Structure 1
C-alpha cells in the first residue's frame, strides 16, 4: 500500500514540476523505485526474483539516458527549464 502512495506522489510531482527536467527525472526515478518494490512483492511469491535484475537493468539504462539528456541540454542551452526551450528546434 505504501508503494502505491509513493507511485501516486511521484506521478503528481511529474504533473506539477514538469517545467524542470531534473525534477521530472527525479520523479520518474521515484516512480520506478516504487514499482520495483511492488514487483518485488509479487515476484517473491512466485519465486521469480531473477526478473528483478532485468527490471533493475531497465531502471539503470533509463537513468543514464535521462542524465545524458540533462547534461546535453545544460551544455547547449545553459538551463534545464523546459518551457523556455523549444526541443523541436534542437
Structure 2
C-alpha cells in the first residue's frame, strides 16, 4: 500500500514537471493535465477506499470529464480561428 502511494506521488510530480516543461502546444498541455488528473484520481481512490467513500470518486470523474471536454472544445475553436495550437502565438487579452 505504501509503495503504491509513493509511486502515485512520484507519477504526480513527474507529470507536473512535464506540464511545466512542455507548454508550446496546447494539445500536449491538455494531455499532461489529464495525466495529472488521473494521478489525483488514483491518490484519492486510495484514501477513499480506506474511508469507505468510493462514491465520491464518481463526482471527481465527472469533473475530470467536463474539464477534458471544455479543453478540447477550446482547442478546436483555437485551431479553427487561429490555425495553430501553439501557445506562444496566442494573446489571450486580444481574444
Aligned partners of 1:24, 1:38: CA distance in 2, in Å?
21
Aligned match of 2:3? none
**Corresponding position: 1:72 with 2:77:** yes
Q: TM-score, normalised by structure 1?
A: 0.96
Structure 1 residues without counterparts, runs of 5 or longer:
none
Aligned match of 1:50? 55
Aligned partners of 2:52, 2:17: CA distance in 1, in Å?
33
Q: CA RMSD in A?
A: 0.7
Aligned partners of 2:17, 2:25: CA distance in 1, in Å?
14
Aligned match of 2:90? 85
Structure 2 residues without counterparts, runs of 5 or longer:
1-5
Distance apart, 1:82 and its partner CA: 0.7
Aligned match of 1:16? 21
User: How many residue pairs align between the two structures?
Assistant: 90
Moved over 2 A (4+): none
Aligned partners of 1:40, 1:57: CA distance in 2, in Å?
14
Distance apart, 1:19 and its partner CA: 1.8
